[in-house]
Structure 1
Amino acid sequence: MSMSVSGFNAASLVSSTPTLATSSGQPQTPAEKAKAAADAAKAAQQQLLDEVKRKGLYAWAQEQKFEALKAKIRAQILQEKGLTEEGLAGMDQTSRTSMETAIQEEITRRIKDVMKTELEGKAHADAKAGKP
């Protein structure tokens, strides 16, 4: 039995609460938003898991480490040049392309230097230990 007060019917209000949707069809209720976010997180997690399976855990971890190193070096180079990502994005196309090329070349040079130093250090340590 539904209770009505001055034409206000609570049962009909609850059962007929409209679900608003944007023109793009995205859910508007908090429950639908939470479900959509959970589904997106689950899909992203599955994609990451598939990538790890395809590459192998060690290779994937090495790639992540390498990408983090590149990002760190890029941030250092931008700081040295007095730039930010936003400032770089605001440049005209020619200047930005030129700057991006210079940054990539510097990243490559620095990574080669780090790798060379590590290999020389390892070779020196192995030679000291009598290893070939």
Structure 2
Amino acid sequence: MAMNGIGAMLSLGLPTATGGVEQPGKGPENPADAAKSRAEAAAARQKATLDEVREKGLYAWAQEQKFEALKAKIEKEMKAAKGISDASLAAMTPEERAATLTSLEAEISKRIQEVMQDALSGEAQKAAKEGRSAQPMIIDIAV
């Protein structure tokens, strides 16, 4: 069925005369509605984060965030070093992709353990240098 003028504009999501944008299958979305949607999404994300902090406690949540950031940083570095991208992963067969991801995950785990061990030994050496005994410590794995 051929569309003329306004019908074609509406089906393509082009600006309407009122300044809004008509999306196929949706009503017109004006800038105020878009801003309201973004604000609601941000409020939902913030509430989810606050609920998570309340559940885990601030310190545990912060350590988890640092750990995830460290893991992401190491994963990015390892992928770059091996020349692996999301596109190359997508192009692999399921078996190749699974093997590559398993290998990558094992190497990431090993690197994280090395980082944590370095932090522990560094703190122990610092304590020995200051003439105090090593005490239980909290490892800061900040990226």
Matched residues in 2 for 1:88 and 1:97: separation? 9
* 3-state SS in 1 of match to 2:83: coil
Matched residues in 2 for 1:74 and 1:20: separation? 41
1:73/1:107 contact within 8 Å kept:
yes
Instruction: Tell me whether 49-58 or 96-105 shows the greater mean CA deviation.
Output: 49-58
Percent sequence identity over aligned pairs: 46
Report the AA paired with residue 92 of structure 2. Answer: M
Aligned to 1:106: 107
1:20/1:28 contact within 8 Å kept:
yes
Q: CA RMSD in A?
A: 2.2
1:27/1:33 contact within 8 Å kept:
no
Report the CA distance between 1:71 and its aligned residue. Answer: 0.5
Report the CA distance between 1:92 and its aligned residue. Answer: 1.3
Q: Which runs of 5+ in 1 are unaligned?
A: 1-16
Number of equivalenced pairs? 115
1:70/1:107 contact within 8 Å kept:
yes
Aligned to 1:34: 35
Aligned to 2:44: 43
Report the CA distance between 1:127 and its aligned residue. Answer: 1.7
Aligned pair in 2 of structure 1 residues 35, 106: CA closer, same or farther (>3 Å)? same
Between the two structures, name the one with larger relative contact order (CA 8 Å, sep ≥ 6). Answer: 2
Matched residues in 2 for 1:27 and 1:44: separation? 25
**TM-score normalised to structure 1 length:** 0.76
1:22/1:28 contact within 8 Å kept:
no
Structure 1 consecutive aligned stretches of length 4 or more whose deviation exceeds 4 Å: 19-22
Aligned positions of 1:1-132 closer than 5 A: 22-23=24-25, 28-132=29-133
Aligned pair in 2 of structure 1 residues 50, 79: CA closer, same or farther (>3 Å)? same
Aligned pair in 2 of structure 1 residues 85, 21: CA closer, same or farther (>3 Å)? closer
